[in-house]
Amino acid sequence: MNEKFLNLDPQKQARIIDAALQEFGEQGYEQASTNRIVKSAGIGKGMLFYYFKNKQSFYYYLLEYSLDLTLKDFLAKVDMEEEDFIERLYQMAQVKLALFDKHPDMMNFLGTFMLANEHNLPKSIQEKYEKIQVLAHQKMFDGINYQLFRQDVDVKKAFDLIRWSFEGYQNELKAKLQGKKFNEIDLTPYWEEFYDYLKLLKQVYYENEEGK
């Protein structure tokens, strides 16, 4: 990557990055077209290969950019004081959705990347990716209070079942809101509905006071 790119007008920089994230996210690496990217970004073809050596190194730059942003705007914002597993997940879902709101193309790009699980990444990126996965695991499980759970349940397995329930709701919501822009939608009813599900999860998995 050419340092000239970083000295660019941030708006232009963002236009290029966004156009590329969208193209790579929708088409995958092979099928993504640099022609479409430059047209959508409103720059000449020459500039892209002035800033970046070639398609591949451009892709790697975007990957690193996205991983850094995930680290800074998602994982770093998880409140580790929350000891309640379900509340912790709820909180993570909220932060994640906020990130989805701000950078939808980037989230889609990362999603496509993770699905495709490429193996021939440069070592530095591979390491960063693995480090993030470890961190995500910690952010989800470290400091969780096991005592909240019913004593007769296998907590490790309960973690999985609850996590899957969360993923299911988020997937269904994502499918339902497909194509709509978040800022045009009032999300509060969905958060309320979500929280109803959480109440039920707590009701069945947690130790509740006897006299209810």
Partner DNA sequence: AATAGATTGACCATCCTGGTCTACTTTTGC
Partner DNA sequence: GCAAAAGTAGACCAGGATGGTCAATCTATT
Residues that bind its own copies (CB under 8 A): 31, 150, 152-154, 157-158, 160-161, 163-169, 172, 196-197, 200-201, 203-205, 212
Q: How far is the CB of 108 from DNA (least distance, A)?
A: 18
Residue 13 CB, nearest approach to its own copies (Å): 30
* Gap between the Cα atoms of 116 and 134, Å rounded: 19
Smallest separation (angstroms) from DNA to the CB of 67: 22
Tokens of 28: 């995958």
Strand, helix or coil for residue 120 = coil
Q: Toward its own copies, which CB reaches closer, 178 or 188?
A: 178
Nearer to DNA, 21 or 32 (CB): 32
DSSP 74: T
In angstroms, give the least distance from the CB of 115 to its own copies. 10
Q: What's the token pair of residue 118?
A: 């490429």
CB 102 within 8 A of CB 74: no
The site for DNA (CB under 7 A) is made up of 4, 7-8, 32-36, 42-47, 49-50, 54-56
Among DNA, its own copies, none, partner that 203 touches (CB below 5 to 8 angstroms by kind): its own copies
Which of DNA, its own copies, none does residue 49 bind to, with CB < 5 to 8 Å depending on kind? DNA
CA atoms within 13 A on the CB side of 172: 9
What is the rounded distance in angstroms from the CA atom of residue 32 to the CA atom of residue 16? 14
Q: How far is CA 104 from CA 19, 53, 68, in A?
A: 12, 26, 15
Instruction: Specify whether the CB–CB gap between 140 and 82 falls below 8 A.
Output: no
How far apart are CB 63 and DNA at their closest, in Å? 16
- Residue 204 binding result from its own copies, DNA, none, given CB thresholds of 5 to 8 Å by partner type: its own copies
